[in-house]
Amino acid sequence: MSDRTQHFRIRTVPLRPALLTGAWAGFVPGLFIGAVLGAVITFASLGPYSLHTRQVILLVAAVGVCTFVVGPAFSAIQALEKMRLASILYGARTVGTNLIAVSLALILKPDIRILIAGMLVANVVVSIIQLGVTRRVVGSRIKFDPELIRRLLIGGLPFWSTGIFLTIYVAIDSVLLSTLVSTREVGYYAPPVQVVSALGFLPAILTFAIFPALSTSFLNELERLRQLTRVSLDVLISLGLPMSIGVALVGPAAINLVFGPEYAPSGPAMVVLAFTVVPSYIATMAFYVIAAADRQRTWAYVMGAMAITNPLINLVTIPYFQHAYGHGSIGATAAPIDP
């Protein structure tokens, strides 16, 4: 395939003899995000933690890095508007890895390290499959292209900076909990976060499917863009509200069933986090609308502000709830509602 410009609905992209070069060169910002995560984990592992806790931290970091590394390959499929395939891959990854985790917890009731190691193996297998599918769909050889890497780093700044801010926003709660209270509170905090995070696959799949239409509508039919946005929000809110109520009602009992009665303090945190489901669905939709309008830099500013505000709120809410109720994890779940 000769050098040329192909007009996709998402944006105009250059196609080279090695189109996959773009996807794989995109690993540079992905690895950069992984390096930031790794630096945070390394810092945390040097703190006053037991060997067991350090092993858990390293395993969780490995799962995170695995997800980051495969991200650009997933983006290559989106760039070619293979949205149905993208939705299938994302849904299979999210549902599959969480089903494995729940199955291990219910059947074997293993040590947390074995449980996370099982999730890591599942992530590695799914990532290999996803990379294979990407190479088959995009179809090209891999080569090192410094100029393309430079362009991706500069042009992709709003995207990978948003990724860094999001990582800080999501991970800082656990870091502050372990520092201000104890690693036990991190254990109480983790199951509710995992459950609510798994529910995020629904808006992701929907927005993957409609993103090309949103992008095209912004260029040609603004009224259609508004209509698509309204309908999508109606669907997400209609599905998110019963999910939110259901998680709040049955979540504590489900945690007790899956993780055991020793995780009973996770119940209140689950109830609080349930109320973030609908706002997170709306935020996901908002991001894709802004991206369709080619205003990614605006969202990067928003995430940057949240990455600063969230830890500041946590510094107040975690000590308060620990002192008032004996569980700082409730304070960590309350903080994301405020920004």
| Whether pLDDT at 235 is above 60 | yes
Which range scores top for mean pLDDT: 41-45, 48-52, 65-69, 265-269?
265-269
Token pair belonging to 118: 């099982």
Q: pLDDT class for 35, splitting at 50, 70, 90?
A: low
State the Cα–Cα distance between residues 314 and 328, nearest whole angstrom.
9
Say yes or no to pLDDT of 6 above 50.
no
CA 279 to the chain's CA centroid: 15
pLDDT higher than threshold 90 for residue 245: yes
Distance CA 225, CA 290 (A): 11
Residues 249-271, mean pLDDT to the nearest whole number: 86
Please determine, for residue 2, whether its predicted confidence score (pLDDT) is greater than 50.
Answer: no
Residue 217 has pLDDT above 90, yes or no: no
Position 29 pLDDT exceeds 90: no
Instruction: Give the pLDDT confidence of 149-190 residue by residue, as tens digits.
Output: 777 777 778 877 887 888 788 888 888 888 888 888 888 888
- Residue 298, classified by CB atoms within 10 Å of its CB into exposed (0-12), middle (13-18) or buried (19+), is middle
- Residue range 225-244: mean pLDDT, rounded: 90
Q: Among 246, 271, 273, which Cα is nearest to 337's?
A: 273
Top-confidence residue, 192 or 72? 192
Segment 91-141, tens digit of pLDDT: 788 878 878 877 877 777 767 788 888 888 888 888 888 888 877 877 655
Confidence band (pLDDT; 50, 70, 90) for 16?
very low
Q: Tell me the average pLDDT of the chain.
A: 77
Residue scoring higher pLDDT (297 or 71)? 297
pLDDT at 240 over 50: yes
Burial class (CB in 10 A: 0-12, 13-18, 19+), 187: buried
Q: Which of 2-16, 20-34, 208-222 has the lowest mean pLDDT?
A: 2-16
Residue 19, pLDDT above cutoff 60: no
If 0-12 CB within 10 Å is exposed, 13-18 middle and 19+ buried, where does residue 128 land?
Answer: exposed
* pLDDT tens digits along 325-338: 888 888 888 776 54
Break the chain into its structural domains and give their ranges: 1-155, 159-339
Annotate 317-336 with DSSP letters as a single string: HHHHHHHHHS-HHHHHHHGG
The CA angle 87-26-61, to the nearest 5 degrees, is 75
Q: Given this model, what pLDDT does residue 319 score? A: 92
Counting Cβ atoms within 10 Å, is residue 199 exposed (0-12), middle (13-18) or buried (19+)?
buried
Q: Which amino acid is at 46?
A: L
Say which amino acid occupies 328: G
In this structure, the number of other CB atoms found within 10 A of the CB of residue 77 comes to 22
Q: Provide CB contacts within 8 A for 253, sequence distance 6+.
A: none
Mean pLDDT for the stretch of residues 198-227 = 80
* Radius of gyration in angstroms for the set of CA atoms belonging to the chain, rounded to a whole number: 21
Q: What is the pLDDT of residue 36?
A: 57
Between CA 217 and CA 225, with CA 222 as vertex, the angle to 5 degrees is: 55
So what's the pLDDT on residue 316? 92
Three-state secondary structure string covering the chain: CCCEEEECCCCEEEECCCCHHHHHHCHHHHHHHHHHHHHHHHHHHCCCCCHHHHHHHHHHHHHHHHHHHHHHHHHHHHHCCCHHHHHHHHHHHHHHHHHHHHHHHHHCCCCHHHHHHHHHHHHHHHHHHHHHHHHHHHCCCCCCCHHHHHHHHHHCHHHHHHHHHHHHHHHHHHHHHHHHCCHHHHHHHHHHHHHHHHCCHHHHHHHHHHHHHHHHHHHHCHHHHHHHHHHHHHHHHHHHHHHHHHHHHHHHHHHHHHHCHHHCCHHHHHHHHHCCHHHHHHHHHHHHHHHHCCCHHHHHHHHHHHHHHHHHHHHHHHHHHHHHHCCHHHHHHHHHHCC
How much is the pLDDT for 339? Answer: 40
